[in-house]
Amino acid sequence: MSEVRIGVFVCHCGSNIGGWLDVPEVAEYARSLPNVVFAQDNLYTCSEAGLSQIKNGIKEHNLNRVIVASCTPRTHEPLFKRVCQESGLNPSLFEFVNIREQCSWVHMQQREAATQKAKDLIRAGAAKASLLEPQEDIYVDVEPRALIIGGGIAGLTTALTIANVGFDVKLVEKEKELGGLLRHLYKLYPSNEEAAAVITPRIEAVRNHPRIEVFNDSTVRDVRGFVGNYDVIIASDGKEETIKTGVIIVATGAEELKPQGLYSYDGQKVITQMELEQLLADGNVSATKVAMILCAGARIPERTYCSRTCCMTAIKNAVLIKKQSPEAQVYILYRDLQTYGTEYEEYLRMSKEMGIRYIKYSLSNPPTVSDGGVKVYHELLGRELNLETDLVVLATPLVPHSDAKELAKKLKVPLEQNKFFLEAHVKLRPLDFATDGIYLCGCASWPTDVEQTIAQALGAASRALIPLTKGQVKVEPIVSSVDQDKCIGCGICEYLCPYKAIAVFPTDKGDRASTIVASCKGCGVCSSHCPMMAITMQNFNDDQITAQIAALAAV
């Protein structure tokens, strides 16, 4: 390697640094460090003037490493790296030393100590900079295709959106027919549109879309690869087919809990909301005294969550019964009503005006169902009511499909404690998995109403369209690399990597780990845990860190 020539630019940051420590002295000191051939102080290194000084420095002094000693790398590093690049210097050869947040701003009354600390940090920076190596940006090509698992309203919406933008879509549905849960519903709240009228045109559109291929009666057998380059093996009709795809969207939905053993459920006199939907669709509801019990099998110790959609489903079905037979008595037995937002709250108000009665019960004193009646302690009245009924409808929660766990394993994505899929971040990445190139939407993630499901499905399409439209995925060069001669293929790194970004593959020398650079996020856990010390973490490697430690300790 050619001679290392470091240039150090020490920033006054107005008086933010210069006011509290001796910047010229620090620059003077920097000049004395090994490999440093140039050092100067600037009023504002990040200003236009400061940046051109860096550019000039690189040119005039033939610098091949640049250190800026100023503020935090967390805000300004991209700027300085860009300037290096513009001057023909590989941005990986830039090193940032923070002497503002780490020195001047936090040791304001200790000028000497702050100055000394700044010198120490620059010494360590120079030690690391000497060992920096140029890294090339890594790009991987993206297979221009999306594979969607699940053909309900979520999967259909995502498929149409991605296909409309111009990418091929493979839609995998495990049942014979597309449509998912909506096939079993009568009318949707709050619009009262028929579910069939909503789902049928979408199924048609998907079937007729030249860019969409549907695999029904099919399941995902196995998934390999990484963002941009997944191989998904689909099993249908006893045949297997491998689909190459850039992205995968999980839209597998959920199913209604069958309340076996709850509230004398028998499917006749005591039925679920989904069973009621069928009766309503067939015009077969003759009952005139109906009690609906909410949170049947939900918000109980063994299933603590609220399924979000059941309150509105019950209210909507109660309204439908009332509309079919206005003389009918409908009671809704609830714990907390989830009529969030504008329309649902309005719907609730309307249902009350129609004469639907609401009775609040508590978990500690749940209603009991007997032949011809429901007994319930009305919390707000403070007494027990005996309701005469000829139909009891249980609002049961949506639960994950039993095969969710298997699918999660194949995709190497996590489930949360109720076995719904777990997104990358509950707040800011609701539609992404932590694994790049895999997305989720709809009830696979959590029980959601149709409106929210459609929004999520469109959103997942957007997320998936990012790598698809780019055609390439750029990878930060902070990635690990494995020395194939030292590696023994033990698989510890593969086990520990939170992103499945390192894996053991068979090679001529036997099993060896290697990094899937497209997925690596640069945490370095593999490197610190490799028993053979075979893994190097670029930009944060053992030699660099050890050099920093040594430099900091040297006085």
Query: For another protein, which is the closer residue by CB, 30 or 271?
Result: 30
The rounded distance, in Å, linking the Cα atoms of 478 and 138 is 10
Q: Name every residue whose Cβ is closer than 8 Å to that of residue 95 and which is 6 or more positions away in sequence.
A: 65, 66, 67, 125, 126, 128, 129, 132
Tell me how far, at minimum, the Cβ of 305 lies from another protein, in Å.
5
Considering only the C-alpha atoms of the chain, give the largest distance between any 2 of them, rounded to a whole number of Å.
95
Tell me how far, at minimum, the Cβ of 430 lies from another protein, in Å.
4
Query: For another protein, which is the closer residue by CB, 133 or 241?
Result: 133
Cα angle for residues 373, 377, 382 (degrees, 5° grid): 140
Residue that is written with structure tokens 């609830």 in the block: 334
* Cα-Cα-Cα-Cα dihedral sign, residues 448, 450, 451, 456: positive
Q: Number of C-alpha atoms within 13 angstroms, CB side, residue 125?
A: 28
Residue that is written with structure tokens 């709050």 in the block: 190
The rounded distance, in Å, linking the Cα atoms of 263 and 187 is 26
Tell me how far, at minimum, the Cβ of 401 lies from another protein, in Å.
17
Query: For another protein, which is the closer residue by CB, 281 or 478?
Result: 478
Are the C-beta atoms of residues 169 and 159 closer than 8 Å to each other? yes
The rounded distance, in Å, linking the Cα atoms of 57 and 171 is 56
Tell me how far, at minimum, the Cβ of 286 lies from another protein, in Å.
30
Hey, is 502 helix, strand or coil?
strand
The rounded distance, in Å, linking the Cα atoms of 10 and 46 is 11
Phi, psi of 18 (to 5 degrees): -60, -25
Token pair, residue 280, equals: 């309503």
Query: For another protein, which is the closer residue by CB, 21 or 392?
Result: 21
Tell me how far, at minimum, the Cβ of 184 lies from another protein, in Å.
18
Q: Name every residue whose Cβ is closer than 8 Å to that of residue 281 and which is 6 or more positions away in sequence.
A: 186
Query: For another protein, which is the closer residue by CB, 20 or 215?
Result: 20
Tell me how far, at minimum, the Cβ of 181 lies from another protein, in Å.
15
Are the C-beta atoms of residues 525 and 122 closer than 8 Å to each other? no
Q: At residue 403, what is the residue type?
A: D
Token pair, residue 448, equals: 């959601």
Tell me how far, at minimum, the Cβ of 284 lies from another protein, in Å.
27
Tell me how far, at minimum, the Cβ of 422 lies from another protein, in Å.
9
Tell me how far, at minimum, the Cβ of 7 lies from another protein, in Å.
21
